[in-house]
Chains A and B, each alone.
Chain A
């Protein structure tokens, strides 16, 4: 299979790439790792006239510590770097865990976090995790940079709030409160498949083990990664007994709108959203206090 003809342009700087986007608008696509885009192009589901390669731009890749305890991850940082980062593992283990579930090792050697987020596949691993971690994305366009919250970024299937002349340059993850637990559980038939359902949870308890904050985000059960807002609200102020966890999980199916496919019917995905939210809640609570 061969993509439809296009013109390949190598950008040397972000400014370079932005000015090409301004010039070619919707006729151009950005090439990051290419592990989703090239598939779409080979299937002729995407047929850009101009392909702007970001791989030669310096400074878009890497993991940086913030003085306040947060982290910045360059948009062109490849999945294998994130998966194997001790720094990320020590602070946001769910990001390493979820990244290790993407595709296969060869895909992860090439694919990038920014590319995966901008692709906005509703069943992908990274989106629910960055949402649960309350990450922000730094985007650069012709008028400079702006920050968008992960929570506001994903609009619909393969659709984000980015405009056609913007580039994601950085993912910023804030420091988590003490006594916070994280979990990510992905359910798929085979290793490396897209999720039938995946749940990312970041939960904070007080000294009395009362829930003070909960972030619950799911993949695979809607046209975009979604937040189980009602479940989050239900948990706040409660001691997380087995009965509370059961009741919380039972509120999830009412908040999802899955489609059905060969991997699982809509009813099945909906039922599994409850099962895996429960599992992920139990795991996140068990992980409270496991990090410094």
Chain B
């Protein structure tokens, strides 16, 4: 038995069928077709599936799709606008903050959530914030540098 779940993702209306037990991340990928959000561990540890739910970062494997009726989500697909990368994406590019790229959507959404609440985070604040997002390639330094750079870019040209 499935239910129709209607919600907004990146400002646009979406709907899809979900079983009561369908995890949000599976719903986003398989029903809504937004495969930018990745599934890493499926256990709430790795952070690859991080999205924003009602403006706050959550791990989308740790919620049910049926809990999102009428909700507003943001996923990595919403970051670039009109073919132009978001300043955080640009910063990831410039600082080589990804290698295999698997953790990147989660890292980006975690970074967006951090900069939203704290536009000028210290290195320590960035490190603490990112401990729910695992990266097995970069060693994190370049990701931390990218978030710092994005913070400067976003302060220089706020939109």
Q: Report A's interface with B, CB cutoff 8 A.
A: 1-8, 34-35, 38-39, 41-43, 51, 53, 55, 80, 103-107, 109-110, 190-192
Give the nearest-CB partner of B59 in chain A: A106
Please state if B128 and A35 are interface contacts (CB–CB under 8 Å): no
A39, B62: Cβ atoms under 8 Å? yes
Considering the complex, give the chain A residue whose CB is closest to the CB of B26.
A2
Q: List 14 A-B contacts (CB under 8 A).
A: A1-B43, A5-B20, A5-B21, A6-B21, A7-B20, A34-B64, A53-B67, A104-B47, A104-B131, A105-B57, A106-B132, A109-B56, A109-B57, A192-B132
On whether A39 and B21 interact (CB within 8 A), knowing A8-B66, A106-B58, A106-B110, the answer reads no
Chain A residues closer than 8 Å to B131, beta-carbon distance: 104, 190-192
Let me know if A107 and B44 touch, CB within 8 A: yes
A214 to B57, CA, bound (A): 39
In the complex, what residues of B have CB within 8 A of residue A105's CB? 57, 110, 113-114, 128-129, 132
Closest to B64 in A: A8
- A6: B residues at CB distance < 8 A: 20-21
User: Which residues of B sit under 8 angstroms from A42, Cβ to Cβ?
Assistant: 23, 42-43, 61
Partner of B59 from the list A2, A41, A107 (CB cut-off 8 Å) is A107
List the A side residues contacting B44 at CB < 8 Å. 35, 38-39, 103, 107
Q: Is the CB of B43 within 8 A of A191?
A: no
Known: A2-B23, A3-B21, A8-B20. A103 touches B132 (CB 8 A): yes
Instruction: List chain A residues, Cβ under 8 A from B21.
Output: 2-6, 8, 41
CA distance A35 to B61 in the complex (A): 10
Closest 10 CB pairs of A and B: A104-B132, A8-B20, A109-B56, A191-B131, A106-B57, A3-B21, A1-B42, A106-B132, A106-B59, A110-B58
Q: For chain B, what secondary structure do more than half of its interface residues adopt (helix, strand, loop), or is it mixed?
A: mixed
How far, in Å, is B69 (CB) from chain A's closest CB? 9
Instruction: Bin the interface of chain B by size.
Output: 20 to 34
A26 to B22, CA, bound (A): 22
B→A interface (CB under 8 Å) = 19-23, 26, 42-44, 47, 50, 53, 56-59, 61-64, 66-67, 110, 113-114, 128-129, 131-133
Per the bound structure, the CA–CA distance linking A42 and B133 in Å amounts to 20
Chain B residue contacts of A2, Cβ below 8 A: 21-23, 26
The CA-CA distance from A35 to B44 in the complex, in Å, is 8
Q: How far is the CB of A24 from chain B (nearest CB, A)?
A: 14
Cβ contacts under 8 Å, B133 to chain A: 104
How many angstroms between the C-alpha atoms of A84 and B41 in the bound complex? 29
- A107 interface neighbour in B26, B62, B67, Cβ under 8 Å: B62
A35 B62 Cβ-Cβ under 8 A: yes
- Contact indicator A55/B132 (Cβ below 8 Å): no
Is B56 touching A80 in the complex (CB atoms < 8 A)? yes
Q: How distant is the Cα of A2 from the Cα of B20 in the complex, in angstroms?
A: 11
What's the minimum C-beta distance from A188 to chain B, rounded to whole angstroms?
Answer: 12
Chain B residues within 8 Å of A53, by CB: 67
Contacts A34-B63, A192-B132 known; A109 to B58 CB distance under 8 Å? yes
Q: Which chain A residue has the least Cβ–Cβ distance from B55?
A: A109
Closest B residue to A103 by CB, please name it.
Answer: B132
A31 to chain B, nearest CB (A): 8
Closest beta carbon of chain B to A242's beta carbon, Å: 32
List of B residues within 8 angstroms of A7 by Cβ? 20
Residue of B with least CB distance to A109: B56
For the A-B complex with A2-B21, A105-B57 known, give 13 more contacts whose Cβ atoms are closer than 8 Å: A5-B21, A8-B20, A8-B66, A38-B44, A42-B43, A43-B43, A51-B20, A103-B132, A106-B62, A106-B132, A107-B59, A107-B62, A190-B131
B62's partner among A4, A8, A51, A110 (CB-CB below 8 A) is A110
Bound-state CA distance A249–B47 (Å) is 39
